[in-house]
């Protein structure tokens, strides 16, 4: 799958490298975390760890890739934006050299709102779990 066709994110703010599995309700994706990423240089330089907010962003981007299939199938226009984050739990740290495995499941939909739950893992150990909601927003409709 060409991720650049599914979501608008681009390096250096793209946190999904590949999709391992995907169907209508679930995605498994991966992100490699080489030691030379900029955020590792400044986030605890003597004990580099991936910021929790960026681990969440990785999950959210995997969720957006999952939703891209729903948008194409339904003829919906727009991009998914986060509207709610609930129950984020940080269980293990993520370090340089790790590979994040991102799992997101679509749990429901009401109109333009998509309800999801996700987790990030490293070597089968859960790093983060979260429930979140996205809504579709037309491109060009943001505040200015």
For 94-115, the pLDDT digits (tens) are: 999 999 999 999 999 998 899 9
Examine residue 144 and state whether it is found in any structural domain, yes or no. no
Examine residue 23 and state whether it is found in any structural domain, yes or no. yes
Count structural domains, the chain. 1
Examine residue 142 and state whether it is found in any structural domain, yes or no. no
- Residue 120: give its domain's CATH number: 3.10.129.10
For 70-95, the pLDDT digits (tens) are: 765 445 567 889 999 999 999 999 99
70 classed as catalytic: no
Examine residue 53 and state whether it is found in any structural domain, yes or no. yes
Nearest residue to 103 via CA among 23, 36, 38? 23
Q: Note down the domain range covering 46.
A: 3-137
Examine residue 143 and state whether it is found in any structural domain, yes or no. no
Examine residue 16 and state whether it is found in any structural domain, yes or no. yes
pLDDT of residue 70: 77
Mean of pLDDT values over 43-47: 93
Examine residue 74 and state whether it is found in any structural domain, yes or no. yes
Examine residue 34 and state whether it is found in any structural domain, yes or no. yes
């Amino acid at each position: 799958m060409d991720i650049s066709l599914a979501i608008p994110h681009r390096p250096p703010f793209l946190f999904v490298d590949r999709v391992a599995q995907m169907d209508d309700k679930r995605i498994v994706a991966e992100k490699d975390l080489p030691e030379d990423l900029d955020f590792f240089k400044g986030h605890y330089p003597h004990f580099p760890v991936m910021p929790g907010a960026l681990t969440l962003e990785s999950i959210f981007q995997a969720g957006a890739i999952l939703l891209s299939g729903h948008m194409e199938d339904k003829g919906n226009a727009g991009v998914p934006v986060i509207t709610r984050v609930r129950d984020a739990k940080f269980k293990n740290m993520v370090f340089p050299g790790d590979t994040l495995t991102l799992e997101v499941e679509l749990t429901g939909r009401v109109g333009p709102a998509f309800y999801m739950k996700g987790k990030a893992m490293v070597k089968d150990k859960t790093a983060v779990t979260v429930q979140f909601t996205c809504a579709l927003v037309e491109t060009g409709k943001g505040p200015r």
